[in-house]
Amino acid sequence: MILLWLSFVLVVDVLANRRLNGPISCIAKNCVSEFGKCVKDSKCRAAMLCNMKCEFERDVDGCNLICELTYGYNNTRYTEALGCATKNGCIPHAADDGKCLANDTQTISNLTTMDQMKGKWWILKGLNCGQKDWPGGFDYFPCQRDEFVPNRTGSDDTWLDYIAYCGGKNNTCTTNMVNTVATARMSSPGVMRHDYLDAPLLPQLEFWRVLSWPHPEWMLYIYCGTTPINTYAGGSVVSNASRTIDEIPPWVEKIFIKTASEYGFDYFGMCISDVTECSD
């Protein structure tokens, strides 16, 4: 999500007051201080360089997400620089990633409270896998899980979702585990609203729409999200008991195959994750 101009050369250009157009002139006008402080901070600088390299990757959004959560996570300088650029319209709108496949009226009706989601849920199949029109590959990160816990400091209906995964694909981590957190609440039956708390570009809002939950341990949902500069989407088969899709009961899988077809995606085309070796 962070574009090529997030590099040393471009920041130096800004600080030198060169006459540049587009994002650079916008930063030069509005965010010189924030980007100058970012360059002087080692972690913020590392996040910038990582983002710059992502511009040459096909899964640019997924790559940038790993940069943000590895080097830029909870880094004030990084957040302030991106916040200033976003507030002043210096970051161009990025291409949307994926297609939102369901709305709030198409979900199941038997999921009504966050208590029903308590605990860890492992992502075993994913929809956004880096294929055409779904380049982010968000659902193919290894070792993905969500852990839902009550939010003791918030309202009774708001929980926290502690999200963990690593960069990589094909069940192989190429980074350390990264973490992020969102508040989660039921906005309507079968719909979980996620408001991310620590993303560098806020607000980041995500709706999980549960399409099928025929077994207490197996669920199929799609998600649709927005950031200040783009929209994204995906979907997952998750389990709160199994670590491999091979353990899914055949009758449950049959339901998921039919449901996926009804919502316009191929169950067998989803990428598979084996999380048996992932840390709990």
The string of pLDDT tens digits covering residues 205-246 is 999 999 999 999 999 999 999 998 889 999 999 999 999 999
Which pair of tokens denotes residue 223?
Answer: 């998600």
Four-CA torsion 128, 110, 184, 200, nearest 10 degrees = 20
What is the pTM assigned to this prediction? 0.83
Q: Where in the chain is the domain with CATH 2.40.128.20?
A: 104-272
Return the SS3 of 36: helix
Of residues 73 and 151, which shows the higher confidence score? 151
Report the pLDDT averaged over residues 8-28.
53
Of residues 275 and 202, which shows the higher confidence score? 275
Which pair of tokens denotes residue 38?
Answer: 């970012």
CA dist 101 and 132 (Å) reads: 16
Which pair of tokens denotes residue 2?
Answer: 């962070």
According to DSSP, the residues that pair with 219 across neighbouring strands are 238
Domain 104-272, what fold?
A: Lipocalin (2.40.128)
CB-CB contact of 235 with 220 (8 Å): yes
What mean pLDDT is reported for the chain?
86
Alpha helical stretches, state H, 88-230:
none
Over the stretch 74-94, which tens digit does the pLDDT of each residue have? Answer: 788 888 888 888 888 887 777
